[in-house]
Structure 1
């Protein structure tokens, strides 16, 4: 296991304060605010510690109330909403400096057999072996990124991400609101499949809201650009492991009123749909700052 992957897995292992309160450390990705994927992964980790071992998360809905500080720890409080015969529901609130940043509702279910189908099929895209990693791409464009080669996107990452198409973060061309990227853990993963779900929760915020910018020819690091998540949902359909390549297929059906809406699907290399996502977020270009 790589050091950066071990660091991320450690980040997802929270300090237990008492039976319902936990604390997680933060990781900066070179942006001003706390990375939303980190909070989602840690909130799932916190909630699971209050649920029966045989129950597994199958959905979570997250709401981002205010920006967090990527250099400060995050405190989590878990509330039991319901424990039924098959399902358990939890609400998780996240705080920094006693201010609520975020809350999540998550549902857990015991395994049981049932009907099985999926639509659509996995998109026909190039295999990951024919693509280069996002880290390699960032290093080639380091002169355009804040901090140059010291930018976190130029460093080894806990997830190896290989986009099917190059989308520079410092400039953009008008394109369809569709994006595909392969990703997997940068090393071997533990056998606990719950940890794989926490890590997918972390990964689900990459390459997501930026898809809504593509029809408008603007980029993340463009001066005056503001991008922030409002809400984020994940549905876990089937078991999976992140030590093999997973395809993240994202599209954006709509943007209006300074908000972008995106949705995503995760597929195994064998074409199995393992999870779906949806998110709405703020996308604003402040013209006075862009000039």
Structure 2
């Protein structure tokens, strides 16, 4: 089943070219009745990458979520070729549904070159093989959700093997703890060795929106949007890609929240390869509101 779900995700990221620099992607619902933000970000990055010469990979993206996406309608991505330089290429992408922009992304791509090297060390984390899979760990908590919600969570994440290092926020609702969380992730299936490195980047972008704001919830003992004790949505999302990696090999997503205020929460994440290389940094701000009684 996981191979089929990975194929579905790869098909979702394989956009249709409908005109020069204009692409169309299909959409699907996630846990909540709107398009998953990671899907839109990954598809927009795919669209941008298809206009970049020489196969140079993305090194950063900055994006804003403008409107909720309709999972029942395709999304049209229009790419503006902002700059083509000798070392750097810049693209801007606008995602449109029903005649209105729902998402905006700017991405920069860089030709390979050598430079100074240093990085923060990888934090301690349990080995992923010692942790239960989502299919093993999460169904026991289905009673915390409305009927069918846990099934939707598992289906939405079916293409990704995502394992929590500690209990997720909905398990410990009502028990505030340090606003830090860790998950290991990889695709649920191997990708061919000759897969375009940009696809690995786009797959990591897809996963990066799944758990980043969990740390905000942990600080306040909130279980999350899926159980209804907060209302949330991504506002903006930024990523920096430092070193090559494979999305079908274990990646540690180390996440924290330095602040929440004004109905917004900030999440910061670092992604490390299994051998300790820092491969990406992520920052996201999202709406985090307590529902009115």
- Normalising by structure 1, we get a TM-score of 0.94
Map residues 137-148 of structure 1 onto 2, 5 A cutoff: 137-148=137-148
Deviation at 1:94, TM superposition (A): 0.5
Counterpart in the other structure of 2:7: 6
The range that moved more, 164-173 or 231-240, is: 164-173
1:265 aligns with 2:266: no
Counterpart in the other structure of 1:243: 248
1:33 aligns with 2:34: yes
Counterpart-to-counterpart distance in 1, 2:229 and 2:129: 36
Counterpart-to-counterpart distance in 2, 1:97 and 1:264: 33
Q: Contact 2:5–2:158 (CA<8 Å) still a contact in 1? A: yes
Where do 4+ consecutive residues of structure 1 move more than 4 Å?
none
> Cα 1:233–1:241, aligned 2, differ >3 Å: closer, same or farther?
same
Counterpart in the other structure of 2:218: 214
The range that moved more, 39-48 or 137-146, is: 137-146
Counterpart in the other structure of 1:51: 52
Counterpart in the other structure of 1:229: 234
Deviation at 1:51, TM superposition (A): 0.8
Map residues 1-291 of structure 1 onto 2, 5 A cutoff: 2-119=3-120, 121-148=121-148, 151-155=151-155, 157-169=158-170, 172=173, 173-190=175-192, 191-220=195-224, 221-223=226-228, 225-288=230-293
Question: Aligned to 1:67, what secondary structure does the other structure show?
Answer: coil
Q: Contact 2:169–2:217 (CA<8 Å) still a contact in 1? A: no
Question: Aligned to 2:214, what secondary structure does the other structure show?
Answer: helix
Q: Contact 1:138–1:153 (CA<8 Å) still a contact in 2? A: no
Counterpart-to-counterpart distance in 1, 2:153 and 2:55: 37
Deviations 1:60-92 (A, max 9, x none): 001011111223211100001111111110000
The range that moved more, 129-138 or 108-117, is: 129-138
Deviations 1:9-40 (A, max 9, x none): 11000010111110111122221221110011
Question: Aligned to 1:141, what secondary structure does the other structure show?
Answer: helix
Counterpart-to-counterpart distance in 1, 2:146 and 2:34: 15
Q: Contact 1:19–1:50 (CA<8 Å) still a contact in 2? A: no
The range that moved more, 225-234 or 150-159, is: 150-159
Q: Contact 1:170–1:222 (CA<8 Å) still a contact in 2? A: no
Deviation at 1:161, TM superposition (A): 0.4
Paired residues in the alignment total 287
Q: Contact 1:136–1:154 (CA<8 Å) still a contact in 2? A: no
- Normalising by structure 2, we get a TM-score of 0.94
Q: Contact 1:224–1:287 (CA<8 Å) still a contact in 2? A: no
Counterpart-to-counterpart distance in 2, 1:3 and 1:286: 37
RMSD over aligned CA atoms reads 1.6
Question: Aligned to 2:9, what secondary structure does the other structure show?
Answer: helix
The range that moved more, 271-280 or 168-177, is: 168-177
Q: Runs of 5+ in structure 2 lacking a partner?
A: none
Q: Runs of 5+ in structure 1 lacking a partner?
A: none
> Cα 1:284–1:25, aligned 2, differ >3 Å: closer, same or farther?
same
